[in-house]
Structure 1
Amino acid sequence: MSRTAWTRANSATRGDVASPTRPFRWLVGSLALLTALFIALTVMMIAVPGYTRDAVLRHSPALTHRDLDTAVNVTIAYTAVMHVVHVAIATWLVVKALKRRRWARIALTVYLPLATVGSLASWSDLRFAWVVVLSGVVHLVIIGLLWLPHSVRAYFAR
Structure 2
Amino acid sequence: MESQSYHHRADTAASLPPSRAPRPLRWLVVGVVASIALLIALPIVMMIDQAGLRAAIEEDTGGGLNPEWKDWVLVATIVYAVVLHLIDVALLLWLVPRVLRGRNWARITLTIYLVVATYFSLYSAAQGAMFLWAVIPTDILHVLMIGPLWIPASSRQHFKPQTERTSGAQAHRS
After TM superposition, the score normalised by the length of structure 2 is: 0.74
Aligned length in residues: 144
1:101 equivalent in alignment to 2:103: yes
Q: Check conservation: 2:35, 2:141, Cα contact below 8 A.
A: yes
Matches within 5 A, 1:68-107: 68-107=70-109
Consecutive unaligned residues in structure 2, runs of 5 or more: 1-15, 166-174
Identity among equivalent pairs (%): 38
After TM superposition, the score normalised by the length of structure 1 is: 0.81
2:140 to 134, 137, 140: 137
Larger Rg: 2
Q: CA deviation at 1:58?
A: 1.2
Name the residue aligned to 1:38.
Answer: 39
Name the residue aligned to 1:153.
Answer: 156
Q: Check conservation: 2:46, 2:53, Cα contact below 8 A.
A: yes
* Deviation string, structure 1 residues 59-89 (Cα, Å, up to 9, x no partner): 2212233311111111011011111111211
Name the residue aligned to 2:25.
Answer: 24
Matches within 5 A, 1:58-77: 58-60=59-61, 61-77=63-79
Q: Check conservation: 2:21, 2:100, Cα contact below 8 A.
A: no
2:119 to 117, 120, 137: 117
* Deviation string, structure 1 residues 77-121 (Cα, Å, up to 9, x no partner): 101111111121122121211121111111111221111112222
Structure 1 residues 125 and 99: alpha-carbon distance in aligned structure 2, compared to 1, 3 A threshold: same
- After superposing on structure 2, the runs of 4+ consecutive aligned residues of structure 1 that deviate more than 3 Å are 14-17
Consecutive unaligned residues in structure 1, runs of 5 or more: 1-13
**RMSD of aligned alpha carbons:** 1.9
Q: Which moved further from structure 2: 106-115 or 26-35?
A: 106-115
